[in-house]
Structure 1
Amino acid sequence: MTALDRPRNTFSTARWYRILAVLVFALGGAIVPVIGWLVGLVMVWLSPVWTRREKWWATGVAPIVTIVVFIVAVILHGAGVDEAPLAVVVAVVPIVANLVVSVGLWRGTGVIVPPEEPERR
């Protein structure tokens, strides 16, 4: 086994980092809107633990859901729907979407179910 074959042992592969990245991604936007979520997203992208596909899902779901919900809310408001329930929906739905993505990231960390070890011959 050469040095290139060995997995890199960096802070971004450490268990504590994976847990922190998912928590900041999930809750950062609720604590510090937009910036907290972006910090969590950067942490996810810096780690080789997640696949590129998982990273793109994390990057796209919350903004796309937010934009779609906002557009639907504007249309419904124009149709005469009361704005109080729409404001709740606009606030809650993107957070729920982000939490769903966070659960997927959490499952991919190996924290809940450790990744399978390759068979040794």
Structure 2
Amino acid sequence: MTDNTAAALRDDYLARLDEAMRGLPHGVASDIREGIAEELDGLDAAATAERIASLGDPRGIAREAEDEVPSAPPLVHPAPMPAPPAPRTPMTATRGFAIAAALTLSFGGIVVPVIGWFVGAVLVSLSAMWRTWEKAVAILVPLVVTGLSFLVVSTMTGFTTGSASGSSTSGEVPPAANPLLPSFGEWHLLILLGFLLVPASGLWLLWRMRGRGLR
């Protein structure tokens, strides 16, 4: 056999070895190929054939190398991070709180006179379901109307009592009632109107709240 024959045997064996080790990691396959190539390098045709016979089938070499290659550790996928909890809606921004506030404003004064209404006014002012002007109308209008009614009635009652006492003492005839001023009974109706505005204001707030966000 000639040197050309030795080279052909060597190249054929290395080619078959490359094909058999295709599934091995590149570094492992490269080291094995270089080692076998060095063993076959410089041999004549007879020695090359003998050495190839001793090495055996390239597929056997590839299987042995595959058995010795440590298996890659399984990929560990990190557990997904839990989503941050959604921020809790403040109690004062809930629809239930607003309904309780409006009902307390309307009827709290009936259950606990005066104090119940003030509690309802505070709850309404804390609620986020109404605009500022809506709260102001619901709280101030009944308060102003009722307060002015009491003030006017007290003033008119004192004036009428003083006039009647002065007239009876001096013997003069009491002056006739001014038709332009409301009578005593009409002032009482005005006070009653102020009291009726209290429950009406809470019901008005409930009406204004319709269609707004449900929470």
TM-score by length of 2: 0.42
Q: Is the 8 A contact 2:94 2:129 kept in 1?
A: no
1:43 maps to a residue whose letter is: L
CA drift at 1:86: 7.0
- Per the alignment, residue 194 of structure 2 pairs with 94
1:107 maps to a residue whose letter is: W
- Per the alignment, residue 203 of structure 2 pairs with 103
- Per the alignment, residue 140 of structure 2 pairs with 60
- Per the alignment, residue 212 of structure 2 pairs with 115
Change (3 A) 1:86 1:34: farther
Which runs of no fewer than 5 residues in structure 1 stay unpaired?
A: 1-6, 117-121
Query: What is the root-mean-square deviation in Å for CA atoms of aligned residues?
Result: 2.8
CA drift at 1:91: 5.5
Q: Is the 8 A contact 2:108 2:117 kept in 1?
A: yes
Q: Which moved more, 1:91-100 or 1:64-73?
A: 91-100
Identity of aligned residues (%): 29
C-alpha separation in 2, matches of 1:86 and 1:98: 19
Q: Which moved more, 1:100-109 or 1:21-30?
A: 100-109
Residue 37, structure 1, aligned to residue 117, structure 2: yes
C-alpha separation in 2, matches of 1:115 and 1:16: 12
Q: Is the 8 A contact 2:149 2:191 kept in 1?
A: no
Which runs of no fewer than 5 residues in structure 2 stay unpaired?
A: 1-86, 162-182
| 1:16-40 residue CA offsets vs partner (Å, 9 max, x unmatched) | 2121111100011122122101111
Count of residues in correspondence between the two structures: 106
- Per the alignment, residue 160 of structure 2 pairs with 79
Change (3 A) 1:115 1:53: same
1:97 maps to a residue whose letter is: L
- Per the alignment, residue 46 of structure 1 pairs with 126
C-alpha separation in 1, matches of 2:111 and 2:150: 21
2:204 maps to a residue whose letter is: G
Q: Is the 8 A contact 1:13 1:49 kept in 2?
A: yes
C-alpha separation in 2, matches of 1:108 and 1:97: 16
Provide runs of 4+ in structure 1 moved above 3 Å. 78-82, 85-91
Q: Which moved more, 1:42-51 or 1:73-82?
A: 73-82
- Per the alignment, residue 15 of structure 1 pairs with 95
TM-score by length of 1: 0.70
Larger-gyration structure (1/2) = 2
